[in-house]
């Protein structure tokens, strides 16, 4: 496997596929910023301290997404996320485990 595909929900609820090469040593925050998603600010640079990179993972059970670590959980508890599916994209490293992940990017910034 040379790349993975992540699906990003659009305003009309359709999903836009985003192919990401493996081995790039980047987080989803960095990828999404690079793709021009402006609400992914990533102010703290990926330290799990700002919450401005949050995304909602719509199929976390389907892809068996690993749970958040303690630092991420602490930050997530301070964020306006009511579905229980929010994650900090800076803590999601691009690996094959993310293949097929469907995410929604909140329209609002913090
Ligand atoms: S970039 Fe700050 S919490 Fe992810």
Whose Cα sits closest to atom 3 in ligand 1?
48
Pocket-testing residue among 40, 44, 72, 76, ligand 1, by greatest number of atoms within 8 A of Cβ: 44
Kindly indicate the confidence band of residue 63, based on its pLDDT and cuts at 50, 70 and 90.
Answer: very high
Ligand 1 contacts CB of residue 32 (under 6 A): no
Judge if pTM exceeds 0.75. yes
Tell me the pLDDT tens digit for each residue of 5-24.
Answer: 999 999 999 999 999 999 99
Residue 59 and residue 45 in contact, taking contact as beta carbons nearer than 8 Å: no
Q: What percent of the chain has pLDDT over 70?
A: 98
Ligand 1, atom nearest to 89 Cα:
4
Q: What is the rounded distance in angstroms from the CA atom of residue 12 to the CA atom of residue 7?
A: 14
Q: Supply the pLDDT for residue 45.
A: 96
CATH number for the domain running over 3-104: 3.10.20.30
Q: How far is CA 65 from CA 49, 84, 110, in A?
A: 21, 13, 25
Q: Kindly report the average pLDDT of the chain as a whole number.
A: 94
Q: What is the rounded distance in angstroms from the CA atom of residue 63 to the CA atom of residue 102?
A: 9
Rounded to the nearest angstrom, the distance between the alpha carbon of 43 and the centre of ligand 1 is: 6
Ligand 1 contacts CB of residue 27 (under 6 A): no
User: Domain coordinates of the chain in residue numbers?
Assistant: 3-104
């Amino acid at each position: 496997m040379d790349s993975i595909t992540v699906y990003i929900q659009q305003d009309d609820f359709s999903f836009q596929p985003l192919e990401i090469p493996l081995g790039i040593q980047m987080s989803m925050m960095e990828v999404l910023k690079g793709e021009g998603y402006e609400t992914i600010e990533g102010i703290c640079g990926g330290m799990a301290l700002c919450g401005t990179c949050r995304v909602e993972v719509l199929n976390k059970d389907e892809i068996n997404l690993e749970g958040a670590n303690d630092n991420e959980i602490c930050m997530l508890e301070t964020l306006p996320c009511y579905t229980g599916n929010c994650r900090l994209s800076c803590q999601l490293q691009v690996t094959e485990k993310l293949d097929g992940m469907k995410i929604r990017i909140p329209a609002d910034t913090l």
